[in-house]
Structure 1
Amino acid sequence: MPTIRDVAKHAKVSVGTVSNVLNGNNNVREETRQRVLDAIEALNFHPSAIARSLTTQRTNTIGMIRTELRHHFPGAESDPFILDLIDGVSSAAEETRTGVTFWTIPVGSAEMELYRDVVLSRQVDGLIVFALRDNDPRLAFLREKQFPFVVFGRPDSMTETNWIDVDGAHGIELAVTYLGKLGHQRIGYLSPPGEQFLTRLRWQGFLSGIKKIGADIDMQLVLEGDFTERSGEINTHQLLDLEYPPTAIVCNNDRMAFGAMRAIQSRGYTVGHDIAVVGFDDITLSRYWHPPLTTIRQPIREIGQALFHLLLAVIEGLPTDGLGAQLIKPELQIRESTR
């Protein structure tokens, strides 16, 4: 089994420098840090064996890394959905005196460098991965390193991964069929970012709902958002500028719905009476907005708790049968933004 001295020799640095890298010391030059990480990977060195408790070889900390997919609009850093997810994870972690470390990183090379750094230096015992993308490189890396992780969302290879997800397709279909019952046929759709894996799943739900109510698909009514209020507002103005604007809009999160309602009201329309709006998530603000938002509820705080308990089972090598592939049905919460 390689030792810290072997790593130092391989990287041509001192043992103290290796120790500083393992402990996250920022005083190490980036070039040197990368050399140490390369040596750790080449030697398959597991620092937890010497840097952590000799009894458990654990940090008693789990991690969450949030990837910012886009930077078109400001405001993503305070996303209530993410805050509720973190709150759920943290509340469950407190019960076992487990720490939670949270990082935010832009998509790109820096993202995978952070994953590599966290995994190879064993900063945490396991990771919760979310905001999945098609052919997600993070999952391939974590599988290769045999590092404990669980996923919020449905991964491309479900047989190799423990995951929990909300049936977003069913949720969007619920929203569309409900609007159909209210008499709406021209329904706008503000989709998630195209690179997210859930985008394709929810689009199938929209198509299914449109088919069920006997409406036609008009691609002019379909616009891509980025989960921020600003994108919901801008896209809704674009929909309202059409010769035949929609009578209802389905948004893929509540924040885009808030932006949509702001745009509708700025044009002198009444939300609900003139144009109906449906969100997705049911964050706390949705029931206090003006008007209160009809939305698809996913129990995000409870999901955060379940993700933590699932990850803990993976870390401890316990069976995850019945826990590691959970698809939760969302519910329609009807409020005043639809009439």
Structure 2
Amino acid sequence: MGGPTRLKVIAERLNLSQSTVSRALNDYQDISDKTKQLVRKAADELGYQPNMHARRLALGKSETLGYVMPWQDRQASESFLSELMAGMARALAAYGWDLTVLVPHSFDEELEMFQRIARTRHISGLVVSRTYSDDRRFQVLRDLQIPFVSHGRSNDSNATAWLDVDNELAFAEMTAHLVGLGHRRIAHIAGPEVYNFARQRTDGWRRGIGEAGLDPLSAPLEMTDLSFEGGKAAMRRLLALDVPPTAVCCVSDVVAIGAMQAVREAGLVPGREISLVGYDGLEIGAWIEPPLTTMRQPQQSAGRRLAEMLISLVEGRTLPSDNQELVRASLVRRGTANPPVSDWPESRQAVRQTTRANSGGFDS
């Protein structure tokens, strides 16, 4: 068992105070690296196991960390969020922490939850996601002195702990892949730019268009929400253009799957007349027909890393600015991104007529 007795044994062996031993084991910065190494070596030899419950009680902290579920488009994000939370839960369990999932239904309710946590301290720290370009939550959490890590950045991330995917690079690479296949009219179905990730992905698409020597201003862009229905409606609008695109970069896999349905309803084959690429790497994308080409972001490993970063903040071992990490998404080549077909221009008029009939004037 751990506890004061074992700390005393380590302290006596090394001729150190119990306080110094405790601070060394907890990686405090005022203890030298040499002392930390000596203490850890002795702890390993003695089989010391820290009493995490007693340690957190002494620090006045609970044994629980929280994940704030995004309240927007929750159903469309369910698969992605479940993998992220699975990675978090496994990492927290390994360190002796519990995970509580907070489920607000509005922005105001989310802020009320923060106030309640600050009063009760039943949760020691939070992971927040679906970050806004201008995210008021960050300053609220700082003012309430609640440690937090954001899954995603905002315009106010310099003093914040965050983990993010390089969204701009991912969409530049996605666009370059389609250019490499021979596409020149590449559209983008974008998410609401109030979300920082959506703005970054649109910037990446524009960057990829520009780097290919094409005109970003003439490339088709449709804004939508992050749902299947939104992707379907946006794709219908693209198909109704006088010169429809031959390829589409979609803000998410969910949006891409909705877009694929609109392509089918127009009498076309996804990956033949219209190439599509999604983003997220959801498992469902591998099972639809044809399988969805996508940019995969590492959900479970992201969840694990978010948990590790938050633990280090809560335990006082690092500062928020020490925990800022940018990771890369990777292209998963499947069946929906192929070279453009030569007969697609000849069928455009029929496609516009079909799309008009399906969409009732393509206002949906």
State the TM-score, normalized to the length of structure 2.
0.74
For the 8 Å contact 1:191–1:224, the answer to whether it is kept is: yes
Alpha-carbon shift at residue 83 of structure 1 (Å): 1.2
| Counterpart position of 2:123 | 124
| Counterpart position of 1:58 | 61
Local SS of the residue matching 1:116: helix
| Counterpart position of 1:69 | 72
Q: Which moved more, 1:238-247 or 1:318-327?
A: 318-327
Structure 2: gaps spanning 5 or more residues: 1-54, 339-364
Alpha-carbon shift at residue 55 of structure 1 (Å): 2.7
| Counterpart position of 2:8 | none
Per-residue Cα deviation, 1:198-218 (whole angstroms, up to 9, x for no partner): 222222211110011222235
Cα distance change of structure 1 residues 305 and 53 upon mapping to structure 2, 3 Å threshold: closer
State the TM-score, normalized to the length of structure 1.
0.79
Quick one: which amino acid aligns to residue 304 of structure 2? Answer: Q
**Within 2, Cα distance between the matches of 1:79 and 1:53?**
32
Q: Within the alignment, does 1:215 sit opposite 2:209 as a pair?
A: no
For the 8 Å contact 1:168–1:205, the answer to whether it is kept is: yes
**Within 1, Cα distance between the matches of 2:201 and 2:182?**
22
Q: How does 1:80-99 map to 2 (within 5 A)?
A: 80-99=79-98
Per-residue Cα deviation, 1:272-307 (whole angstroms, up to 9, x for no partner): 111000000111111222111111111111000000
Local SS of the residue matching 1:250: strand
**Within 2, Cα distance between the matches of 1:191 and 1:157?**
23
CA RMSD of aligned residues (A): 2.0
Alpha-carbon shift at residue 220 of structure 1 (Å): 7.3
Q: How does 1:1-339 map to 2 (within 5 A)?
A: 54-69=57-72, 75-76=75-76, 79-218=78-217, 221-319=220-318, 324-339=323-338
Local SS of the residue matching 1:227: coil
Quick one: which amino acid aligns to residue 75 of structure 1? Answer: Q
For the 8 Å contact 2:160–2:321, the answer to whether it is kept is: no
Alpha-carbon shift at residue 123 of structure 1 (Å): 2.4
Quick one: which amino acid aligns to residue 288 of structure 1? Answer: W
For the 8 Å contact 1:233–1:260, the answer to whether it is kept is: yes
**Within 2, Cα distance between the matches of 1:195 and 1:123?**
31
Q: Name which one, 1 or 2, has greater alpha-carbon Rg.
A: 2
Structure 1: gaps spanning 5 or more residues: 1-51
Local SS of the residue matching 2:188: strand
| Counterpart position of 1:27 | none
Local SS of the residue matching 1:55: helix
Quick one: which amino acid aligns to residue 68 of structure 1? Answer: W
Quick one: which amino acid aligns to residue 175 of structure 1? Answer: M
* Number of aligned residue pairs: 284
Per-residue Cα deviation, 1:136-192 (whole angstroms, up to 9, x for no partner): 111001111221111111232333111111000000001101101111111121112
Identity level (%) = 30
Quick one: which amino acid aligns to residue 264 of structure 2? Answer: Q
**Within 2, Cα distance between the matches of 1:225 and 1:62?**
33
| Counterpart position of 1:34 | none
Local SS of the residue matching 1:188: strand
